[in-house]
Structure 1
Amino acid sequence: MGFSLNFAPLAPYWPVFLTGAWLTLKMTTVAIVVGVSIGTLIAFLKRGSNRAVSKACSAYIEAVRNTPFLVQIFLLYFGLASLGIHMPTFAAAVLAMIINIAAYAAEIIRAGLESVPKGQIEAAECLGLSRWRIAWHVMLQPSIERVYPALTSQFLLMMQASAMASQISAEELTAIANTVQSDTFRSLETYIVVAFMYLALSILVKLLAWGFGEYLFKRRRIIRRAALEAARRRPPAIPPFKPVAATAATAANTTTTTGSAS
């Protein structure tokens, strides 16, 4: 019994696939913006002088990072429903994503803050800068620039983890795929299409993150532009100088050797 791929039954479902992809992208965007903002605050609070707040932030990060994302979604959706708090599937999925990415972003940003030299902070304090300006210009911007690749990877992982929201019937891309394959009985073709759509979404998130990084980190553009200008103004390489006497001696030795061989 042979099997052949047939994508024709999926053609009427393209609008449904695009709707699911748009919902996935919207969930990821909201989770990234809100989650990174909360994670930045938690990173500063964890490094603060208040030990009780610092320990509470550490406990939150460890609790989130050491429990499965699917369990976190179930706790918010089914657990709160048992307490009488009913949330829409979209809200529960996005809230779980925010809580998850905030913990990971907090730890990544904290590592970046730790990399800022203390002498640089002390120099800013000696200049009379306010705590807000020191935190923003001296600490946060350089640290975010250093850890931005790690944050971008976390954004991609969060976008892919949004597929877990299909377990609470959120109409994102994976949930749409489950519905389509149950209607068409073309499971392989359906999930091949979904895999390519996730690949396209990942490339789109990478491009958006790269463009935002180019806009946010002006120092990168300045350094790149200066390197290009230096390479353009660099004089061409001059071939090594060979003295005439040495060249003549080499030619004479070559002639002598040739004559002897003859």
Structure 2
Amino acid sequence: MPALPFALVAIVCYLAAGLWQSLSLARRVAERPGWVRGAGLIALVCHGVIVGLTILGPRGLHLGLTQSAALVGWLVVALLLAASLVKPVLNAGVCVFPLAAITVVAVIGMPSTMTESGVSPGLYFHILTSIAAFSFLAIAAVQAVLVACQHQALKRRQTGGIVQVLPPLTRMEQLLFELIWCGMLLLTVAIVSGFVFVDNLFAQHLAHKTILSLLAWLIFAGLLAGHHYLGWRGPKAVRWTLVGVGVLILAFFGTKFVLEYIFHYNA
């Protein structure tokens, strides 16, 4: 089954949904959450077909840099659309939808040959929980950026524009910490399952990923403790969130880039 037609539909729908959501945030067009979800859902289905075609192989899973990015992008969109039915998080689509489109372009244009063979059910569980944790925390990073923009607008006493479109700042911060809690719980499960199901997490090709993942866990644990005991919020919470997600990006994609494109490691 050719992946290109599905890729084109996914890219167009992602960009259309992201553009409309950004224009509605700028109050250039009316809010159309149903339309945005519909376009996002069409893109998600096509994106899912692409993920299946590019990751599943006769010799195992192709989990190179671009395939992993496409899988993460798909899951982030799926979580965003599902959560938007009960939480006001659809505004994160301003960044999430275009980034998902980029992952589709990358996996079609630069497919990786890195293969994971002989994957056990326990390792599948570790991989899925790791990707789910990163996906929740990636949405939290976008939410943090929106909180920062809203905080700056209120600080300058600008009551129009983005402030009128977004929920109240206290609600936005509450959503941010809810996303971080979900991501943190999944990250904890992923790290524990890694120690249980992976032969040696500190092997040469896994050590950097393990250390960076543990560092990210400590950053988010510190943020949640600071929020609970010291009342951290606003810019401080935004900074800690973005630093933690930045470390996770290095853990997930930085190590894959080094292994795949510098050392040409093939699992």
| Bigger Rg over Cα | 1
Q: Normalising to structure 2: TM-score of the pair?
A: 0.31
